Amino acid sequence: MKYPPHLLDEIRARLPVSEVVGRRVRLKRQGREFAGLSPFNPEKTPSFFVNDQKGFYHCFSSGKHGDVFRFLMETEGLSFPEAVERLAAETGVALPKPDAREEKRERHRASLADVCEMAGRFFEESLKLSGGAAARAYVEKRRLEARTVREFRIGYAPAEREALKRHLLGKGVDEQSMVDAGLLIKPDDGRASYDRFRNRLMIPIQDERGRVVAFGGRALSSEDNPKYLNSPETELFHKGLMLFNGHRARAAAYDQGSVIVVEGYLDAIAVWQAGIPAVVATLGTAFTEDQIQRMWRFAAEPLVCFDGDRAGIKAAHRAIDRILPHLKSGFSFNFVFLPDGKDPDELVQSGGAEAFRAEMARAVPLADVLWERETQGTPIDTPERKAALEKRLEDLVHEIKDARVQRAYQLRFRLKLSNLFWTSERGEGRGRPGARPSAAERQAMPPMPGGDLVGLERVVLGLCVEFPDLFEAAAERILALDFGLEPHEAFKRELHRMATEVADLSVSSFYDGIDPRFFFLLEELHGGEVTDEAGRVVEPSGRHLRARFKVLGHHPPETWVEQCLWHFLDRLELRQMERDLDREVATIGPDADETVEARILGFSRDIARRKEEFARREQELAEEAKEIRRAHGSGGPSGLAAGAPRG
């Protein structure tokens, strides 16, 4: 429904932005504005500001900006109409009534919700009766606790043909309403209608308001098919729009900055019971655009959890094809494939929440799953086959509509293809990730010493590979830096050349001319994926980068990673300034005048000031890293204190 601008303005006028924002963010007045910590990114220094006079908030750490309606949409996952309705009710602003036709439809939908609610109560009561013994035994088998049964309103549909129908007729509900609500099946041949759900464990499906709008039924007998039966599409229930448990998961997802997506509602219930509330299920449907956008309202990079069997991998591949066109800057998905053919429920039952969280920490970015899908088992032993693989990847990348994301995928795949082709042409033992270079190549690659700043260079270059869009944004600063090791300098130059000078050439036409050291350094700085004997990925690419910068294993927001990259570049630039100062001091002769001394003193003070600022910012980033780890349920050291070298 469209709302007239004057109505929205009236709501804004009655409700200051600071009042709405202040319910989630602790604000302090600073002159005409309020300041607080960003609700979108972990931080220690306030970068989030609210201006009541202008009627907006602005978050410098995430770039998000908007009014009271946008704030509710961003922080609670509400749709625009839902945000308007909530604030209108709060401020006493009367919303316009829908036209007669829409009002009639709304009344009908409300009545269907009432019917579904009555059916839900009937199923709950039936679970407690003698006829529900088999359902109670199944609940016990699944180890569902009494509190979980109550919270999710789990029930039982009796085996009788018309048990629910008789009950609702006795409550005054007409038969057509039961059909419209998806509770009855009415045969076309004129026979009497009958209950859709019979002898099934019943799971109510609730919308974002918490209203019961449909049901999922799990068969209790092996003779009943299908095993899982959902309500049909109705005025209330559209599978392609729904996320099971969304109304419960929303707040936890926003607090943690993460949401887990599983395939079935019983899996979601098991994960919730284990103490992981930010979990939703897709009701067994392929991802739709609406579901993708809803998941992104919960978190920027949802973790999609699939069984590790062939069916789970196929489902992930279908999901990727649906997601690709909708990828946008800052929004993607990570994928988890559970081991040993287990589903989330089985994993939680056998290993508890910690085992489940451990698997979530092994999530693989969408780009890596796509790469594996296209390259696993693909022969590249001829120029034509190399070209075919490159063409397939190019076509997939062009599905991405966001130009910046498309460009990042292009660079990422160009790097990986270059390495793959180079590896392939050097045979089984040479050029593979982790392979030892030849004597000539070892001579061209002096040993890389340790040390904080050398480690920092490695992290920076590894981040450039892992996040190509960040490399492009920071390319000018990176190219201007004088890296301490010549191999790092060579890698930096080659990486930039691949991203720019040869951008219009096919990979197969330029990769053989790349400095061979580049590929060994690519393995050292980033780390190729590790596979088992069956060819399955046991560790995704980037393992050496994650070993140095451990917080990356906890899927931090890319905006936070970008802050870290710029912070690391600050430190490398500071080293360059210190070297310049040393050279200046070394050239001072006995006849130096006061001007030279003043310049050097000023330079020295500037370096000291920047060092102090660097130390303060490093501490802030380390604290934010702890919050990121905590949000993913891990303890122990974190962030800059656990893998990323300090200055």
Tell me what pLDDT residue 76 has.
83
Measure CA 43 to chain center: 19
Q: Is residue 647 in some structural domain? A: no
**Which CA distances in Å does 118 have to 130, 173, 179?**
20, 10, 14
SS3 string, 18-69, reads HHHHCCCCCCEEECCEEEECCCCCCCCCCCEEEECCCCEEEECCCCCEECHH
Q: Once rounded to an integer, what is the mean pLDDT over residues 235-244?
A: 91
Closest CA to 306 of 298, 297, 314: 314
Tell me what pLDDT residue 36 has.
93
Q: Which of 253-262, 317-326, 498-507 has the lowest mean pLDDT?
A: 498-507
457 with 574, same domain: the answer is no
Tell me what pLDDT residue 67 has.
93
Q: Of 181, 215, 237, which closes a domain?
A: 237
Residues 128 and 95 sit within 8 Å (Cβ to Cβ)? no
Tell me what pLDDT residue 185 has.
97
Instruction: Give 35's strand partners.
Output: 28, 49
Q: Of 39, 57, 91, which closes a domain?
A: 91
Euclidean distance between CA atoms 420 and 467, whole angstroms = 19
Q: Once rounded to an integer, what is the mean pLDDT over residues 103-112?
A: 73
Q: Which of 204-218, 279-293, 320-334 has the lowest mean pLDDT?
A: 279-293
Tell me what pLDDT residue 307 has.
85
Q: Is residue 299 in some structural domain? A: yes
Tell me what pLDDT residue 53 has.
75
**How deeply is 44 buried, as exposed, middle or buried, from its count of CB atoms within 10 A (0-12, 13-18, 19+)?**
middle
CATH label of the domain that carries residue 280: 3.40.1360.10
Q: Which of 242-251, 488-497, 550-559 has the lowest mean pLDDT?
A: 550-559
396 pLDDT above the threshold of 90: yes
Q: Is residue 126 in some structural domain? A: yes
Euclidean distance between CA atoms 145 and 306, whole angstroms = 24
Measured between its terminal Cα atoms, the distance across the chain in Å is: 55
468 with 600, same domain: the answer is no
Give phi and psi for 593, each to the nearest 5: -90, 180
481 with 400, same domain: the answer is yes
Tell me what pLDDT residue 419 has.
86
Euclidean distance between CA atoms 226 and 219, whole angstroms = 7
Q: Is residue 368 in some structural domain? A: no
488 with 448, same domain: the answer is yes
Euclidean distance between CA atoms 128 and 139, whole angstroms = 12
331 pLDDT above the threshold of 50: yes
**Number of structural domains found in the chain:** 5
CA atoms within 13 A on the CB side of 633: 20
DSSP per position, 333-355: -EEEEEGGG--HHHHHHHHHHHH
Instruction: State the residue range of the domain holding 344.
Output: 241-362
Q: Once rounded to an integer, what is the mean pLDDT over residues 323-347?
A: 91
Tell me what pLDDT residue 229 has.
94
Residues 256 and 309 sit within 8 Å (Cβ to Cβ)? no
Euclidean distance between CA atoms 26 and 31, whole angstroms = 16
Closest CA to 422 of 521, 310, 570: 521
CA 293, 294, 295, 297 torsion: positive or negative?
positive
Tell me what pLDDT residue 409 has.
93
Q: Read off the pLDDT of residues 340-385 as tens digits, 9 standing for 90 and up.
A: 878 999 999 999 999 999 999 889 999 999 999 999 889 998 989 9
145 with 196, same domain: the answer is yes
Residues 526 and 466 sit within 8 Å (Cβ to Cβ)? yes
Closest CA to 124 of 232, 28, 212: 212
* 3-state secondary structure at position 11: helix
**Which CA distances in Å does 7 have to 20, 51, 91?**
18, 21, 11
Nearest-Å Rg of the Cα atoms of the chain is: 29
Q: Is residue 44 in some structural domain? A: yes
CA 75, 78, 79, 81 torsion: positive or negative?
negative
Tell me what pLDDT residue 14 has.
85
144 with 184, same domain: the answer is yes
**How deeply is 386 buried, as exposed, middle or buried, from its count of CB atoms within 10 A (0-12, 13-18, 19+)?**
buried
Q: Read off the pLDDT of residues 467-483 as tens digits, 9 standing for 90 and up.
A: 988 898 889 999 999 88
Q: Is residue 190 in some structural domain? A: yes
Angle between helices 246-256 and 289-298 (to 10 degrees): 50
How sure is the predictor about 564, in pLDDT bands with cuts at 50, 70 and 90? very high
516 with 468, same domain: the answer is yes
Instruction: Give 244's strand partners.
Output: 281
Q: Once rounded to an integer, what is the mean pLDDT over residues 152-158?
A: 98
540 with 556, same domain: the answer is no
Q: Once rounded to an integer, what is the mean pLDDT over residues 509-536?
A: 78
37 with 23, same domain: the answer is yes
558 with 576, same domain: the answer is yes
How many C-beta atoms lie closer than 10 Å to residue 202's C-beta?
24
Residues 639 and 629 sit within 8 Å (Cβ to Cβ)? yes
Q: Is residue 608 in some structural domain? A: yes
Q: Once rounded to an integer, what is the mean pLDDT over residues 207-225?
A: 91
Residues 294 and 261 sit within 8 Å (Cβ to Cβ)? no
Q: Once rounded to an integer, what is the mean pLDDT over residues 124-139?
A: 96
Highest mean pLDDT among 11-15, 193-197, 352-356, 507-511: 193-197
90 pLDDT above the threshold of 70: yes
Q: Is residue 367 in some structural domain? A: no
CATH label of the domain that carries residue 229: 3.90.980.10
Q: Read off the pLDDT of residues 427-462 as tens digits, 9 standing for 90 and up.
A: 543 334 444 445 444 444 445 555 678 889 999 999
Euclidean distance between CA atoms 463 and 591, whole angstroms = 47
69 with 112, same domain: the answer is no
Tell me what pLDDT residue 356 has.
94
Residues 30 and 112 sit within 8 Å (Cβ to Cβ)? no
Q: Of 237, 272, 291, which closes a domain?
A: 237
Highest mean pLDDT among 127-131, 474-478, 531-535: 127-131
381 with 336, same domain: the answer is no
